[in-house]
Amino acid sequence: MNHIQFAQEIYNRFGTIKRCRGCFLYTKKGVRLTDMNQENGRAVLGWDAGNAFTFFKNALNRGVTGSFITEDVSRTDKAVSELLASERKVFYFSKKADALKAGLFFSPEGTSVWKPWGPAEIKWADIPCVIIAPPLPWTDSLYILAVKADVLHSVDSTAAAKIFASSIIIPFPLQAAVTRAFYNMIAALQQREEKDWFIYDTILTKYWERKGPYLYPKIPEEKYDSFVLHCMDCGVVINPDYHSPSIVPFGADKGVFTKLKNSPFEF
């Protein structure tokens, strides 16, 4: 099921989404949905990414809405450097393929896609080029390439300029929100842990294999669309893409899965 069909199915059942907060969606028909899709992971910190959109609104009020170089360029570098525990230079791309191409130019054997709460054995500080989807909703067409400073300086500047021709400058309010989202993610990485995820296992592991906060379906692929709709009818919104994980709803009461527990999906 694609995301357009997914959104339409939510609308057909519950009307428009009127408000989003934390891991919940509040609908026009007064139904609260537990969100385990979380904008395919970009809303893993909640629909305000902590308080990131407050920073967006504050920056917007300053009127600097063009694609200018602002003070937040260096602030984002610092935030991402702290996230990856290594000095980084950040570049923005509107397509993941362009970010990947640039990363492979600098380090064909050392370019990886970052994922929070991923395998503990990955040492992000040692990886020369890291592609990051900002943990911020409304940025599905934004990707970041974080290049280690020493790697960047070792490459011919003329060749590098050609590679970065497809990079973009994003408006200051969005820069401010992305930067704050990264700092909020750094805090969340220290706060959220296994004890916050396994408490739902008695219900969720019937349908998913859990790795950290990520849920990989046990449902056969040919039945997955039906399972998505079944969960929706039980007030639970999961990732409509079979090949992308759903996410454990941080902070939700176990009671949000009562309908799913009482109305099991047979597969």
Give the tens place of pLDDT for each residue, 242-255: 999 999 999 899 99
pLDDT in tens, 121-156: 889 999 999 999 999 998 889 999 999 988 888 877
Distance (Å, rounded) from C-alpha 17 to C-alpha 35? 12
35 pLDDT higher than 70: yes
Amino acid 259: pLDDT: 96
Torsions phi, psi of 236, nearest 5? -125, 125
Concatenating the DSSP letter of every residue in 102-156 gives HHHHH-TTSEEE--TT--TT--GGG-SEEEE--SSTT-TT-EEEEEEHHHHHTS-
Distance (Å, rounded) from C-alpha 26 to C-alpha 1? 22
pTM for this entry: 0.91
Mean pLDDT score of the chain? 92
71 pLDDT higher than 70: no
pLDDT in tens, 180-230: 999 999 999 999 999 999 999 999 999 999 999 999 999 999 999 999 999
